[in-house]
Amino acid sequence: MLKCTQTWTLVIATLALSCLISAKILISKVDYESNPNYLTMNVQVHNETEGSTVDVDGMLYVDVYQGIHINIDIDSKMDGEYMTMIGTSKELCSKEESGIDPVVPLLNEELEKFGNLSFGCPYYKGLYRMRRFRMSNDHMLVKMVPPGEYVLKMDLKHQQENDTKMAHVYKLSFFFEIS
C-alpha cells in the first residue's frame, strides 16, 4: 500500500508527464457542402507552425427550433483506409438527456470560445462565425487520440415538424494529422 506522500508524488508525476505530452494537429484538407435552402458556408484553414486553425462563416436563412440531428465521426487511417474510431449521433434540440455523450459537449465547449457557433438550440437567421478555432494540444479529446492520420466528419440534418424526411443542412470533413 502506498503512503500518502508516495501517492501525492505519483499524482504530481502523472500530471507533469501529461503536461509534457503535446500533439500538433495539422489539417491537410477540408471538404464541405451546405444546403443553400438553409445556409451558405465558407471554411478556411490556416496552417501555422504550432498547428492548424480554422475560420468558418455561415449565413443561416431560416429559424430552426427543433429537429436538428448531428452525426460526428472520427475515422482513423489504418492500412490506407479510414475506419470509424469514435462516432456519435445527437438530436441537438432535444430536452431529454439520453445517455452520457462526452464528444458533443466537449466540442461545444471549445467552439464557443472562438465565436458564436454552438451545438445548442434554437438557431436563428443570421451570421454565425468562428475565428482561429483550434483544439488545444492539452485538450482531453486531443490527448485521447494517438498520433496518426484522421478525418473528423460532421453531418447536420433537419427534420421539419410532422415530416418523416430529414434534409441535409451541411456536411463537413476535416482531414488532419496528429504528430
Model confidence pLDDT, tens digit, residues 132-156: 888 776 767 667 778 899 998 999 9
pTM for the structure as a whole: 0.75
pLDDT(158) > 80 = yes
- pLDDT bracket for residue 119 (50, 70, 90): confident
Percentage of the chain surpassing pLDDT 90? 34
pLDDT(5) > 50 = no
Percentage of the chain surpassing pLDDT 70? 78
The pLDDT value given to residue 171: 95
d(CA 40, CA 179): 33
- 24-178 placed in CATH 2.70.220: yes
Would you kindly state where each structural domain of the chain is located, as residue ranges? 24-178
Average pLDDT (20-41) is 83
And the C-alpha cell for 14? 502523472
